[in-house]
Amino acid sequence: MEAKTHIALVSVPVYSHQRSILEFSKQLVHLHKGIHVTCINPTFSSPCCNTLALFHSLPPTIDYMFLPPINLEDLPHDTHPAVHVQFTISQSLPLIHDALKTLHSTSNLVAIISDGLITQVLPFGKELNVLSYTYFPSTAMLLSLCLYSSMLDKKISCEYKDLLDPIEIPGCIPIPGTDLPDPLHYDRSGEVYKQFLEANERFYLADGILVNTFYEMEANTIRALQQQEGRGIPSVFAIGPFVQKGSCTEGSTNEAEYLRWLDKQEQNSVLYVSFGSGGTIFQDQLNEIACGLELSGQKFLWVLRPPNKFGIIVDIGAETENPLKFLPNGFLHRTKGHGMVVPYWASQVQILGHGAIGGFLCHCGWNSTLEGVVHGIPLIAWPLFAEQKMNAVLLTNGLKVALRPKVNEKGIVEREEIAKVIKNLMVGEEGKGIRQGMENLKVAADNALKEDGSSTRTLTQLALKWTSLGVA
């Protein structure tokens, strides 16, 4: 029997965003059996094995389609991955529009939910006379910045990085100018900054914004946003945390090895080091991290990728060269038995759920951050790009569940600083407070997703609204 209520999701060609919106969709159809979901995915190349594994793991009530790849040959060879994504989004809009029209004509489509990076889809809902939402896979704090960005643009005259005082947004902790998201570090007269403002203005077209956070984690920010509903700001729904529940990798050959190694370690004794699904670092910083890990004397499990000037790898499934060759001479020999380096990829969910893990050196991507939270693992905040510095501010200054190493005048965290922060987190007094704070946050995250929890109640109210439209 065909489901009465059909929801269309529109994702973007970014693995971390796809993971997040698919976990949301799985929770939605799990809680509400009458809802059927179709996920539309723009592409600029054939999906890699990790991406395919995500989609192959979906239940039968979630369909998906990959749109024809966009030709990137007209872009310069050495183009930043973010440009690939934005170009793919803009070129895919006619294909997305056609796919949505087809779904609308062949099913009882009641709502379109598009990723926060593709706000261009929001007007399509109005055209098809269905509800149109944004799925926002980051913090309510970042959403607030986006919604208030035009106001800040009028209020602030200098470049954001030159601000002497932190930016204050209703309900949020103060944000230093240097910790604002990447688009605000560009020349304010340039195209990147202009596109950022235009995308944020389109949020106001949404019937609502679904945020992958939970009320207890960002209560002041969510409350401040909700108090502005009816005064121009769309309805905001905190419905998370949505994190991957199990490994979606296909046949990782080294998985058993690192899990066996963890089995031999003492409880809470290992620092896990990873920069997310695609993050990486430059060579000088890689050297300092290696030396800092060695100097700290703490056990570690490090997922390592080759250095990259962009700080991100486009194709997370590509393994073009051995990353171990970039380590300092003798590092693997000197740390043998004390640490382990895993090339390219590891099952983060399994690692964070292992009792031996006592800390997480994290790039502050929101998926990784939430995975740390739901497993109660205290963090070392090491932001790389996008909104990650802003997330680090929330984790350290706001929630106080992370330590953040100091960067020198050359933009490098030195080995002595790394060793000091690692020891502080793993065996120091300050680390005990961080650990307790994270444990409290873990309990709150668990409670939010219970049957009567804040996030489940919110998502249920939305689903009931959608299913009532499906019956009508």
Which residues participate in catalysis according to the annotation?
A: 17, 115
Partners of 304 in the β-ladder:
343
How many C-beta atoms surround the C-beta of residue 443 within 10 A? 12
Q: What is the 3-state secondary structure (H, E, C) of the chain?
A: CCCCEEEEEECCCCHHHHHHHHHHHHHHHHHCCCEEEEEEECCCCCCCHHHHHHHHCCCCCEEEEECCCCCCCCCCCCCCHHHHHHHHHHHHHHHHHHHHHHHHHHCCEEEEEEECCCHHHHHHHHHHCCEEEEEECCCHHHHHHHHCHHHHHHHCCCCHHHCCCCECCCCCCCECHHHCCHHHHCCCCCHHHHHHHHHHHHHHHCCEEEECCCCCCCHHHHHHHHHCECCCECCEEECCCCCCCCCCCCCCCCHHHHHHHHHCCCCCCEEEEECCCCECCCHHHHHHHHHHHHHHCCEEEEEECCCCCCCECCCCCCCCCCHHHHCCCCHHHHCECCEEEEECCCCHHHHHCCCCEEEEEECCCHHHHHHHHHCCCCEEECCCCCCHHHHHHHHHHHCCCEECCCCCCCCCCCHHHHHHHHHHHHHCHHHHHHHHHHHHHHHHHHHHCCCCCHHHHHHHHHHHHHHHHHHC
Strands 208-211 and 35-41: unpaired
> 89 — phi, psi (to 5°)?
-60, -50
